[in-house]
Chain A
Amino acid sequence: MTTPSPPPIPSGARATGRRIGSGVLMFWRVLRANPLTLAGFLVVALICITAVIVIVDPHLLTRYGPDQITTAYNQGPSWAHPSGTDGNGLDIYSETLYALPLDLAIAFAIAGAAMIGGGALGLVAGYWDRPGTVSGALSVVILRITDVFLAFPSLILALAIAVSLGRGVWQLIVAILLTWWPYYVRLVRGETLAVKHLPYVQAARAAGVTDGRIVLRHILRNVLEPVVVYFTLDIGTVLVTLSTIGFVGLGLAYPGQAEWGSMMSYYQGSGLITAYPWTVLGPGISIFVTVLAFSLLGDGLRDILDPRSRRVLAGTGSGSITAAAPPTPEVPVAANPGDLVAAPEVRPAG
């Protein structure tokens, strides 16, 4: 221990201790620095809290129970009925509210199952892809089946399966899920192929880490980032698909079981949309806001999940020994409006 020692690390580095609080703090700092992500996060949080309230005690938010007939028919928005009522006397605001937990649950179930199932297949197909081995053959089988599903227009396939299975929540989930998983296989396989040849995976192999552990620990953690981002964005896409299936009349039976797509389908199909346009506004705006919120959050998550951009984004810079936060790039100005200007490389703000 006689060699000259490197200079001590500034004590600011200690601020990045391994505490539970520090992660939450970091998350909050990143959110604060990215207004759009913050907006997405707040709206998603609001939506989730609302869904929980609807499940626990809906009367905090509405006077009416599910499918409760009011005495008002075809009324426009008012204080008593913020979203109006339909010809059956149903309060559309309440119906939209009751549909929220169901829509969210279906979206999460489909995207979640597709992510876990498709992701697992993608990991296998990406890591064990050596031709001429049993696992290599398995990978080929997985990929060809994936190709078959991807080659078929997914909405048409989902509609066909929904028709054959009949109405119902589980039928709907199965129908969409069957067309949904292949995208995750492709995504995860691609990422796995890119990651598995990186030096740190080789180094882990050299250190005697078993294949299973390399996949589940080293590769999965590095693949997770784009997958979680895709998942968050995907919630919105599933909701849209769900609504589309509902809209063409193959979703849940409304009135009876409120679901945004089915509601829109019902009001549009019964011709009420021209005379009483507010009937579709409630479910329509709900779909729009939910999808938008998840998209905004998903974009920002990309930055939060990457440890390299995390501290720079959060503007703490405390832990950096080698590099400080990059300076704000100056935007070059063109002399004439038509001139081309070299775009500065800016990290997407979220």
Chain B
Amino acid sequence: MSDPVVSIQGLSIDYVVGAGRFRAVSDVSLDVERGHVVGIVGETGCGKSTLAQAIPRLLPEPPATIGGGRILFEGTDLVQVPRWKMPAIRGTGINMIFQEPLNSLNPAFRIYDQVAEAVHIRQVRERKAGTVVRREPGPFDYSRRPDPTAKDAWSGKVVPGGAVPEAVHRRQVDQQAGGNRADIRREVLEYLRLVRINDPETILNLYPHELSGGMRQRIMIAMALSEKPSLLIADEPTSALDVTIQAQVLTLMKELIEEVNTSILFISHDLGVIAETADELGVMYAGKLVEFGPVGEVFESPRHPYTKALLRAAPTRYKSDGPLLSVGGNVPNLSHPPLGCRFHPRCSIARPVCRGEPAPPLAVVAGAASNHRSACHFAEEVPGIP
């Protein structure tokens, strides 16, 4: 069971701004199992994007610094890996899809060049690792056997014993039999078809500005998948798209998760999106992971007052029965987080202990599933909150 692709252990991330120090992510521990989709939800500013970017070490450091903890990716601690070694891990190891699909493609290059770069990076690494042996054709390919059904080029008759084909020049071999360039092109087309792009031959020659947002996001997904990453981090990949396109992209991602065996860390503030895609769900509040568990479990019986309030505030029907509910109070300022449990000022079941003592670490809740954990002193009481 336990074979996590990435295992985050007690990770803290600080932003150093002037003399101030903001702990954007504090003491987050999280495992993403192989082949699973883990969703992270939380309000704006709760640290979910910071967490997402910290895993492939894409945060600008400074101002961000890793204050502590480990990011174990396939056995290596990414916190300790020197910066110049990170590009080798990014892409094929950990890949990322960003929030802004409209700006995530380089405006100066055609679609082909961009997808081909991703395919090329993977092919080079595979070749280096020795997983794929490239056939090196000689200057002339003599390996082609006489074809018994081939017609003679001059007479047009079937020759007994087979006509010997003309010697083929190296470049032609390259194009026909999977030389590098043809190989890349074939794969690029393959991945564009995988993300359901019709007529990829035409799309290849277009510039990003000639495509719609949904198309661009599909290209981004194709690029990410073409590197066959072990972990794909999707940082609100659909929030910039309108609802119909969003549904299309989500359906597509769900299908692709089944086709390509990739683990996904899915960051979103949209509970509906998470419910559709994720296997496990983590809820973040003010830089801390407050609840983690199987997505159905968390939705059915949340064990943290914040999750409960968040779910209550989510509009569930097309026609609302009354005014939209909200979580009372404000998101705390992370330069001066509330003492004790960070949620206590907004919590309906807060007691003196919540103010006086920090929240307990994530722990399995009595009476819940074995992997449903919550960071609340009174997790058992949460189902009783109206």
A residues in contact with B96, CB < 8 Å: 203, 206
Which B105-130 residues sit within 8 Å CB-CB of chain A? 105-110, 112, 117-118, 121
Answer whether A206 and B58 are a contact pair too, CB < 8 Å, given A5-B196, A308-B107: yes
- Asked if B251 CB lies within 8 Å of chain A CBs, one says yes
B residues in contact with A28, CB < 8 Å: none
> Within the complex, what minimum Cβ distance (angstroms) separates B369 from chain A?
33
B246-274 vs A, Cβ < 8 Å mask (1 yes, 0 no): 00100110010000000000000000000
- Asked if A271 CB lies within 8 Å of chain B CBs, one says no
Can you list 12 A-B contacts with CB-CB less than 8 angstroms, sorted by A residue number? A9-B202, A14-B202, A130-B60, A199-B100, A200-B103, A208-B121, A209-B121, A307-B209, A319-B205, A319-B210, A321-B210, A322-B210
Which A13-40 residues sit within 8 Å CB-CB of chain B? 13-14, 16-18
A residues in contact with B2, CB < 8 Å: none
A-B residue pairs, 4 tightest by C-beta: A208-B91, A206-B96, A208-B90, A199-B103
A13 to B121, CA, bound (A): 29
A144 to B99, CA, bound (A): 37
Answer whether A8 and B58 are a contact pair too, CB < 8 Å, given A199-B98, A208-B121, A209-B91: no
B interface residue numbers (CB < 8 A to A): 56, 58, 60, 62, 84, 87-96, 98-100, 103-110, 112, 117-118, 121, 193, 196-199, 202-203, 205-207, 209-212, 215, 220, 223-224, 227, 248, 251-252, 255
Is there an interface contact between B251 and A3, defined as CB atoms closer than 8 Å? yes
Nearest B residue to A132 by beta-carbon distance?
A: B62
Is there an interface contact between B105 and A16, defined as CB atoms closer than 8 Å? no
Among B56, B105, B211, which residue has its beta carbon within 8 angstroms of that of A322? Answer: B211
Is there an interface contact between B108 and A207, defined as CB atoms closer than 8 Å? no
A residues in contact with B207, CB < 8 Å: 307-308, 319
B residues in contact with A1, CB < 8 Å: 193, 196
Q: Is the interface of A mostly helix, strand, loop or mixed?
A: loop
Answer whether A308 and B104 are a contact pair too, CB < 8 Å, given A206-B96, A210-B87: no
> Within the complex, what minimum Cβ distance (angstroms) separates A215 from chain B?
13
B residues in contact with A17, CB < 8 Å: 205
Is there an interface contact between A208 and B98, defined as CB atoms closer than 8 Å? no
Nearest A residue to B88 by beta-carbon distance?
A: A208
Is there an interface contact between A308 and B209, defined as CB atoms closer than 8 Å? yes
Is there an interface contact between B196 and A207, defined as CB atoms closer than 8 Å? no
Is there an interface contact between B198 and A206, defined as CB atoms closer than 8 Å? no
Among B118, B199, B203, B252, which residue has its beta carbon within 8 angstroms of that of A207? Answer: B118
A222 to B105, CA, bound (A): 12
- Asked if A131 CB lies within 8 Å of chain B CBs, one says yes
B residues in contact with A211, CB < 8 Å: 84, 87
Is there an interface contact between A218 and B107, defined as CB atoms closer than 8 Å? no
A223 to B205, CA, bound (A): 22
**9 other A-B residue contacts (CB within 8 Å) besides A9-B203, A209-B117, A321-B212:** A6-B197, A6-B215, A18-B205, A200-B104, A205-B90, A319-B206, A319-B207, A322-B210, A322-B211
Nearest B residue to A204 by beta-carbon distance?
A: B106
A residues in contact with B255, CB < 8 Å: 3
Is there an interface contact between B198 and A5, defined as CB atoms closer than 8 Å? yes
- Asked if A198 CB lies within 8 Å of chain B CBs, one says yes
Is there an interface contact between B210 and A320, defined as CB atoms closer than 8 Å? yes
Is there an interface contact between A206 and B91, defined as CB atoms closer than 8 Å? yes
A interface residue numbers (CB < 8 A to B): 1, 3, 5-9, 13-14, 16-18, 130-132, 198-200, 202-211, 217-218, 221-222, 307-308, 319-322
A204 to B6, CA, bound (A): 21
Among A3, A198, A204, max chain B CB count under 10 A is at: A204
Among B206, B211, B252, max chain A CB count under 10 A is at: B206
Nearest B residue to A7 by beta-carbon distance?
A: B198
Is there an interface contact between B108 and A307, defined as CB atoms closer than 8 Å? yes
A208 to B121, CA, bound (A): 8
Nearest A residue to B220 by beta-carbon distance?
A: A203
A131 to B118, CA, bound (A): 30
Is there an interface contact between B105 and A130, defined as CB atoms closer than 8 Å? no
> Within the complex, what minimum Cβ distance (angstroms) separates A195 from chain B?
10
> Within the complex, what minimum Cβ distance (angstroms) separates A347 from chain B?
15
A256 to B239, CA, bound (A): 71
Is there an interface contact between B106 and A206, defined as CB atoms closer than 8 Å? no
Is there an interface contact between A207 and B227, defined as CB atoms closer than 8 Å? yes
B residues in contact with A210, CB < 8 Å: 87
Among B88, B96, B121, B205, max chain A CB count under 10 A is at: B205
A218 to B114, CA, bound (A): 10
A residues in contact with B84, CB < 8 Å: 211
Is there an interface contact between B205 and A131, defined as CB atoms closer than 8 Å? no
A residues in contact with B106, CB < 8 Å: 200, 204, 218, 221-222
A1 to B251, CA, bound (A): 12
Nearest A residue to B100 by beta-carbon distance?
A: A199
Nearest B residue to A322 by beta-carbon distance?
A: B212
A299 to B200, CA, bound (A): 36
Nearest B residue to A10 by beta-carbon distance?
A: B202
Among B88, B92, B93, B104, which residue has its beta carbon within 8 angstroms of that of A203? Answer: B104
> Within the complex, what minimum Cβ distance (angstroms) separates B19 from chain A?
16
Is there an interface contact between B56 and A206, defined as CB atoms closer than 8 Å? yes
> Within the complex, what minimum Cβ distance (angstroms) separates A211 from chain B?
7
Among B98, B108, B109, which residue has its beta carbon within 8 angstroms of that of A202? Answer: B98
A241 to B93, CA, bound (A): 54
Answer whether A9 and B198 are a contact pair too, CB < 8 Å, given A199-B103, A208-B121, A222-B106: yes
A residues in contact with B89, CB < 8 Å: 208
Is there an interface contact between B212 and A200, defined as CB atoms closer than 8 Å? no
Is there an interface contact between A221 and B251, defined as CB atoms closer than 8 Å? no
Nearest B residue to A201 by beta-carbon distance?
A: B106
A residues in contact with B103, CB < 8 Å: 198-200
> Within the complex, what minimum Cβ distance (angstroms) separates B201 from chain A?
9
> Within the complex, what minimum Cβ distance (angstroms) separates A297 from chain B?
21
B residues in contact with A16, CB < 8 Å: 205-206
Is there an interface contact between A202 and B58, defined as CB atoms closer than 8 Å? yes
A6 to B218, CA, bound (A): 12
Nearest B residue to A17 by beta-carbon distance?
A: B205
B residues in contact with A320, CB < 8 Å: 210
